[in-house]
Amino acid sequence: MSGKIKKFISSVLSAVMLIPLVPTIAAAAETANITIEYRKEEGELVRSVEVTEEYIDGDTYTVPDELKSGFVKKNDEGFYDYYEINESKSELSKEFASQMTLVLEVNQTDRFDYYDDFEDTTRVYNWNTGSGSSAPAVQTDGTKYIKHSTGSGSTGAYATFDEVSAENKEVRITADVKFTHATGSKPGLGEFSIGSSSPTFGSGNINYGIEAGTGHILALLYRDGTTLEFNKKIANIDFVDQWIHIEADADFGRETVVVKLTNEKGDTWEGTDSFYSSAVESNIGSIYLRSPGTDGTLGVDNLTVKVTGEALPNEPDIKSVLNYKSVYAFGDSIVYGHNAPAQSFMRLTANNYAMKLNMMAKNGATIMSSSNHILTQINNAPSDAPDIVLFEGYTNDAYGSAASDPEFNPSGIQRDVTECYGEITPNGTTVFDTDTFCGSFENTIKTMKNKWGDKTKYVFVTIHESNARNHDIQVKLRELSMAICEKWGVEVVDMFTYENSAGERLNTYGHTAKDAYMNKYIINGNGSHPTVAACEEFYIPAVVEVLESLYDDDNSNNNGDDKNDDDDDKDNDRIKSNSPAAVSGYVSMTALPGSVELVSESKTPVIHIDESDYPGVIRAANDLVSDIEAVTDKKPAVKSENIVEMLPGSSGITMTDTGMAVLFDYPVPGDSKCYVAAYNADGTLEGVKISAESYGGESFDDGSIIGFSFDERLTKPAGGKIKAFVWQEMKPVTGALGMLVDKDADLSG
Helix H, strand E, coil C: the string for 225-290 is CCEEEECCEEECCCCCCCCEEEEEEEECCCCEEEEEEECCCCCEEEEEEECCCCCCCCEEEEEEEE
CB 376 within 8 A of CB 561: no
Name the nearest CA neighbour of 441 among 412, 413, 462, 472.
462
Encode 521-531: b = buried (16+ Cβ within 10 Å), e = exposed.
bbbebbbbbbb
Q: Average of pLDDT values for 341-366? A: 86
Is the pLDDT higher at 72 or at 341?
72
Ranked by mean pLDDT, the top range of 321-330, 569-578, 737-746 is 321-330
Burial of 211 (0-12, 13-18, 19+ CB in 10 A): middle
- Please report which helix (H) or strand (E) contains residue 172, including its range: strand 169-180
pLDDT at 745 over 90: no
Measured CA to CA, the distance from residue 684 to residue 614 in angstroms comes to 9
What is the per-residue pLDDT for 32?
95
Measured CA to CA, the distance from residue 178 to residue 250 in angstroms comes to 21
Query: What average pLDDT does the chain have?
Result: 78
What is the four-CA torsion angle of 79, 80, 85, 86, rounded to 10 degrees? -20
Measured CA to CA, the distance from residue 13 to residue 21 in angstroms comes to 11
Measured CA to CA, the distance from residue 691 to residue 708 in angstroms comes to 6
pLDDT at 560 over 50: no
Measured CA to CA, the distance from residue 276 to residue 218 in angstroms comes to 6
Quick count: other Cβ atoms within 10 Å of Cβ 3? 7
What is the per-residue pLDDT for 535?
95
Burial of 173 (0-12, 13-18, 19+ CB in 10 A): buried
Which has the minimum average pLDDT: 229-238, 271-280, 527-536? 229-238
Is the pLDDT higher at 328 or at 9?
328
Measured CA to CA, the distance from residue 474 to residue 529 in angstroms comes to 15
Measured CA to CA, the distance from residue 54 to residue 67 in angstroms comes to 18
Q: How far is CA 746 from CA 377, 439, 483, in A?
A: 44, 55, 54
Q: How far is CA 253 from CA 132, 166, 205, 312, 349, in A?
A: 38, 9, 30, 6, 17
What is the per-residue pLDDT for 111?
84
Is the pLDDT higher at 213 or at 25?
213
Is the pLDDT higher at 245 or at 611?
245
- Please report which helix (H) or strand (E) contains residue 485, including its range: helix 471-488
pLDDT digits (tens, 9 = 90+) for 158-173: 999 999 999 888 899 9
Measured CA to CA, the distance from residue 86 to residue 83 in angstroms comes to 9
Q: Average of pLDDT values for 523-533? A: 90
pLDDT at 580 over 90: no
Measured CA to CA, the distance from residue 476 to residue 600 in angstroms comes to 50
Q: Average of pLDDT values for 102-108? A: 87
Q: Average of pLDDT values for 71-93? A: 87
What is the per-residue pLDDT for 301?
94
Quick count: other Cβ atoms within 10 Å of Cβ 89? 13
CB 439 within 8 A of CB 432: yes
CB 521 within 8 A of CB 513: no
Beta pairing partners, 115:
304
Measured CA to CA, the distance from residue 537 to residue 329 in angstroms comes to 20
The backbone torsions φ and ψ at residue 106, rounded to the nearest 5 degrees and listed phi first, read -120, 150
Name the nearest CA neighbour of 392 among 465, 497, 492, 466.
492
What is the per-residue pLDDT for 212?
87
Which has the minimum average pLDDT: 475-479, 528-532, 577-581, 632-636? 577-581
